[in-house]
Amino acid sequence: MIYPQKAMLLYPQIREGGEVYKNAIPKKTSYRLMDLKIDYAFRSLFVDERNKNITIAFLNTFFIKSKRALIRDFEFLNWEAAEDEKSYLRLLVETEKKESIYTEILFPSQDATEKQSFYFGSKLYRQQFEANSGFSENHAVIAINILNFEMSPENDEFHSVFRLADKEEKMPLTNLLEFQYVEIPKLIRSYKEGRLNSEEKEAARWLLLLAAVDDRRNYFYLDMYRELEKMAMTDKDLDIAINAWGEMSNTKENQLAYKDRHKQIIEQQFFKEIEWIEEKRKAAEDRAEFVEQKYNQMKKQYEQQKKVIAEEKQKRLEAEKNAVYANREAAKIVIHYGKAVARNLFKQEMSSSYIKKITGMSAKEIAMLKEELEEK
């Protein structure tokens, strides 16, 4: 049962059956459950020696997905990290087949998801050789990425596994370096649309645990939480996890630390968005400056070309004018000397057709000249 009036300020929004109930909490609880996608909450639940069994059960979700042997034991790795890397979790796990595998759990940001994953996964693999120069003894690395956003909107698969393989034949090169991505929004959508059957829900139960609370959107998925409670009746590890989750969420000290970390993450995301917007603005300014320079350059070239064309046109008109004048003068000369030649030929009693051929005069001009000579 939901109590929207009595639970005011305790839990802003609960989602059930696609509906949103504002200012409500599930019955029997008087506190907000922490969002396990916030690294502080995740570490509080899973990085605890008392909760070792639930950490193994959680990790086995990913080992089953990649068809590896189940985990028998693990140890946390201490490693030097920058401030923004301290939220990541590194473990050396031992499988039931006595394989040793480095496992890294990451919460990468949306602006460089694959790059962060590849960087830390390959860095962990490479560090094995810094102490050991040989290649005979080295362990596989699995980088598990928890994403509270969609990395690849083109498909609906919420849990993906990537390894090095041949591009054409899809033949795997090695399983020593593996990258897994869990896209929580896709998981929620699949659950809400009823596309998860009982077996898939069972396989994804630990992922549903991560999805049930979304502090980013201020949502609590009550139907998902009830589904988890139902599965916990037959899953001891899940039941322990849910109880531990509630206990740590109800501790004042944890609540304050969680709120501080959540605020820090929001601020980091805000500054990254500001940085991204600033980069876009600068790129737009640079692009506008480039376009303006290109425009001015083209305009200058156009003006120069226009001037050249105008000069060439003027030269052509002057040349045509001079050619017409020259043709006229030449015609005058031809006419003057042509008549002189024609008179001499007539005096030599040459025929009109011969004179026309020699002088180029027309038949009419020759006839008029002949009449003129005969009159004289």
Helices (H), the chain: 39-46, 52-65, 113-131, 184-192, 198-203, 205-211, 222-232, 236-249, 252-347, 352-359, 363-375
pLDDT bracket for residue 185 (50, 70, 90): very high
Interval 76-94: pLDDT, tens? 887 655 555 556 788 899 9
Beta strands 177-183 and 19-22: pairing type? unpaired
In the predicted model, is pLDDT for residue 269 greater than 90?
no
Q: What is the CA radius of gyration of the chain?
A: 45
Taking alpha carbons only, the member of 188, 240, 247, 180 closest to residue 216 is 188
- 134 burial type by CB count under 10 A (0-12 exposed, 13-18 middle, 19+ buried): exposed
Q: How far apart are CA 122 and CA 177, in angstroms?
A: 7
Paired tokens of 45: 């639940």
- Can you give the pLDDT at residue 5? 33
pLDDT tens-digit series, residues 149-182: 898 888 889 999 999 888 888 888 888 899 999 9
pLDDT score recorded for residue 131? 65
Q: Would you state the structure tokens that stand for residue 355, as one six-digit string?
A: 């004179």
Cβ-proximal residues to 237 (8 Å cutoff; 6+ apart), any chain: 53, 54, 57
Residue 13 — pLDDT band, cuts 50, 70, 90?
Answer: low
Q: Token match 């320079």: residue?
A: 293
**Cα–Cα distance between 231 and 257 in angstroms, integer?**
30
Distant-in-sequence, close-in-space partners of 28: CB < 8 Å, separation ≥ 6:
none
Name the residue among 166, 160, 80 with its Cα closest to residue 124. 80
Integer angstrom CA distances of residue 345 from 72, 95, 204, 373 = 129, 125, 119, 12
Q: In what order do the strands lie in the sheet with 13-16?
A: 19-22, 13-16, 219-221, 213-214
C-alpha span between 357 and 116 (Å, rounded):
96
Please give the structure tokens belonging to residue 330: 């030449």
The pLDDT value recorded for residue 203 is 86
Residue with tokens 């083209």: 298
The reported pLDDT for the residue numbered 22 is: 41
Residue closest to 22 by CA, chosen among 36, 8, 33 = 8
Length of the chain: 376
Domain ranges of the chain: 13-250, 311-375
260 pLDDT more than 50: yes
> Distance between CA atoms of 302 and 17, rounded to whole angstroms?
66
The predicted-structure confidence for 92-119, as pLDDT tens digits, reads as follows 999 999 999 999 998 887 777 888 888 8
Residue 23's nearest CA partner among 33, 34, 8 is: 8
Cβ–Cβ contacts within 10 Å for residue 118, how many? 15
Contact indicator for 187, 150 with CB cutoff of 8 Å: no
Distance of CA 57 to the CA centre of its chain: 34
